[in-house]
Amino acid sequence: MRRMAWVAVLLGVMVFSLSAQESWMDACDLRGDQDHTEWISQVMQSIATLKPGMTRRDLAPLLREEGGLSTRSRRTYVYQHCPYVKVEVEFVPLQGARDENPDDKIIKISRPFLEYSIYD
């Protein structure tokens, strides 16, 4: 009888331990999801600060040019901290300048989107 009591206690402890471990793991998963969600929110808020009327120069603190096809009036940019977060930007070229110019005016910025990197 005594042996059965010990087996029952041992099984109870094991079930409790597994349950507690599972709850802890679920909490860790939720925290990881929350961290990712907060980071994405910060990225979107950062990119939302860029507006038509700003210049090509104003993009530099947050974005960098991506490889691939582009023109002077349209280029894809990637977020500095993650090359999969991108925006398409359209410009009005500076009068008299032949090439891309830091003072080219932004006329349109797409919503941020995800895409694998393009390398030249």
Contact 88, 118 (CB under 8 A): no
Q: Is the pLDDT of residue 98 over 90?
A: no
Torsion of CA 60, 63, 68, 69, to 10 degrees: -60
Q: How many residues does the chain have?
A: 120
Contacts of 55 (CB under 8 A, 6+ apart): 102, 103, 104, 105, 106
Give the pTM.
Answer: 0.73
**Nearest one of 101, 78, 103, 99 to 89, comparing CA atoms:** 78
* Lowest model confidence (mean pLDDT) among 15-19, 74-78, 85-89: 15-19
Task: Tell me the pLDDT tens digit for each residue of 21-32.
Answer: 566 556 667 677
Q: Is the pLDDT of residue 13 over 60?
A: no
Q: Output 33 or 92, whichever has higher pLDDT.
A: 92
State residue 102 phi and psi, 5-degree precision: -60, -20
